[in-house]
Amino acid sequence: MEDKSQKPRFAPTLCLTHYCNLNCIYCYQKHDTHNRMSFETAKKCIDWIFKNIPEEYEGVELDFIGGEPLVEFNLIKQIFSYVKSTYPKEKVIFYATTNGTLLNDEMKEWFTQRKGCCVLGLSLDGKKETQDHNRSNSFDKIDLDFFLKNWPWQGVKMTLSEFSLDHLAENIIYCHELGFEEIGGVNLFEGTFDWSDEKWVQKLIPQLKTLVDYYVEHDDLKVNQMLDRHIEACEYSDRKDKRRWCGIGGGAVFFDVDGRKLPCTFCTPMTFDEKTLTEICNHDFSKVDDFVDDECFNNCYIYPICPHCAGANYLTQKTFKNRDKSKCRIQKLIALFAADLLTKRILKNPQKYEESRRGLMIDAIQKIRELYLPEFRQYFEDE
């Protein structure tokens, strides 16, 4: 049984390299071969981390990103040895998000021997056709069985492109049928892309319908992140408390390749030029109101469950405060299907949901349908 009193892990991130061996069609970052973290820099970052673990955390999850972090496999091994020898009493998990294409026999053996404390999370957009289209013909370079054997519970991270939107359901179902228990992230890609175009709504509706039916039938599976919205939060009494919905400049601890402590993993030289990055770093992150869009906060019922990346917002809006509204319609649509899925799961297995929480869920379901179904009525003639 899970210990509810257990404290969360402190999860700082080290960017090991700006280089990536792939050229994914939706990537907004600049990659190069020159910027990489030295072992001396890594040691300084690690020493800071273990001397500054907040009291509310227990243990450390040391996250590695890039670029592609496995480009720096030797550095990962050095960091692992340094942490184990310098901080032997600390409970540490080493985690890296990878595209999986660089894993060779040496790496596989090393990670397998340490799979209890070293975890690899795979970025995979689905079936071969989609993966190859989105991610540089990389499908055949990935040993899916290696990830399934060692960390089947870890799941995969998926990013949508214009191409993969037409195949969203089959790609998610494919990953589940392979044996991945969870699709940890299904991300609407960032950057200069107009999600307000009505054709994306038309493409997404049949995909979400299929996924709802699939997750109702397979109610033992954890719902993918896109549809796993805790919609009862829209009814919480504290929903009108202003707060930031990410750890930028606060809870997020991120070190770039040169050892600079930056506000978050999005705010890097790979994403912003130095002038913009300086503007971001000089921001007073303690001003919560600077991160709350008043129009959304005061007028949008699903504000508490609308995913939001402050860094990505700055990329397109040049501000943290005013949200990119191009995604509003898509998020309302996703909320409708999340409510539909929850309705059907409650009807199928009401005993799975605590009674007090179930009441909030039902209230939220009703309000989401009342507020947003009329907006999409033309697509739901039989509702």
CA distances 252 to 83, 119, 223, 261, 264, Å, are 20, 20, 26, 10, 6
Is the Cβ–Cβ distance between 311 and 262 less than 8 Å? no
Which one, of 196, 176, 195, lies nearest residue 187 by Cα?
Answer: 195
User: What is 120-180 written as a DSSP string?
Assistant: EEEE--SSHHHHHHHTTT-GGG--HHHHHHH-TTT-EEEEE-HHHHTTHHHHHHHHHHHT-
Distance between CA atoms of residues 317 and 306, nearest Å: 17
Identify which has the larger pLDDT, 29 or 103: 103
pLDDT, residue 189, reads: 61
d(CA 234, CA 355): 17
User: Could you write out the DSSP letters of every residue in 211-236?
Assistant: HHHHHHHTTTSPPPTTT---GGGGG-
Q: What is the DSSP letter of 290?
A: G
CA atoms of 333 and 288, how far apart (whole Å): 28
Least confidently predicted of 67-71, 127-131, 146-150, 235-239: 235-239
Task: Give the burial string for 359-381 (b: 16+ CB within 10 Å, else e).
Answer: ebbbebbebbbebbbeeeeeeee
Least confident interval from 51-55, 85-89, 134-138, 376-380: 376-380
Please tell me the predicted confidence (pLDDT) of residue 164: 87
Provide CB contacts within 8 A for 287, sequence distance 6+.
none
Per-residue pLDDT of 110-146, as tens digits, reads 999 999 999 999 999 999 999 999 999 999 999 999 9
Confidence (pLDDT) at 181:
85
Which pLDDT score, from 0 to 100, does residue 72 have? 97
The residue ranges of every structural domain in the chain are 191-245+288-383
Q: What mean pLDDT is predicted for residues 260-274?
A: 94
Sequence-distant (≥ 6) Cβ neighbours of residue 198 within 8 angstroms: none
Using CA atoms, how far apart are residues 243 and 248, in angstroms rounded to an integer? 12
pTM across the whole model? 0.91
User: Which is more confident, 24 or 383?
Assistant: 24
Least confident of 86-100, 110-124, 238-252, 349-363: 238-252
Helix runs in the chain, H state only: 39-51, 73-86, 105-113, 128-134, 144-150, 162-165, 168-178, 198-217, 274-281, 294-299, 310-317, 328-348, 355-372
- The length of the chain in residues reads 383
- Is 3's pLDDT higher than 60? no
- What's the whole-number average pLDDT of the chain? 91
Distance CA 297, CA 303 (A): 6
Between CA 228 and CA 221 the distance in angstroms is 11
Q: Is the pLDDT of residue 383 over 70?
A: no
Asked if pLDDT for residue 381 goes beyond 70, the answer is: no
Q: What is the pLDDT of residue 32?
A: 80
Specify the amino acid at residue 181: E
Rounded to an integer, what distance in angstroms lies between the CA atom of residue 380 and that of residue 373?
8
Q: Please list, residue by residue across 193-231, b when 16 or more beta carbons sit within 10 angstroms of its beta carbon and e when fewer do.
A: bebeeeebbeebbebbeebbebbeeeeeeebbbbbbbeb
Q: State whether the Cα torsion 259-260-262-266 is positive or negative.
A: negative
pLDDT attached to residue 316: 87
Residue 239 tokens read as: 């929903």
Per-residue pLDDT of 215-226, as tens digits, reads 999 998 988 888
Mean pLDDT of 196-214: 92
Q: What is the pLDDT averaged over residues 34-38?
A: 93
Two tokens, residue 149: 């054997």
Of residues 239 and 8, which shows the higher confidence score? 8
Is residue 324 predicted with pLDDT exceeding 90? no
CB 69 within 8 A of CB 13: no
User: Can you tell me which residue has the tokens 């091994």?
Assistant: 77
pLDDT tens digit sequence for 145-201: 999 999 988 889 998 888 888 999 999 999 999 999 888 777 766 556 677 888 889
The answer, yes or no, to whether residue 353 has pLDDT greater than 80, is yes
Q: Given pLDDT bands bounded at 50, 70 and 90, which one contains residue 5?
A: very low
- pLDDT in the model for residue 35: 92
Residue 75 has pLDDT above 80, yes or no: yes
Is the preceding omega at residue 100 within 30 degrees of 0, hence cis?
no
pLDDT at position 2: 37
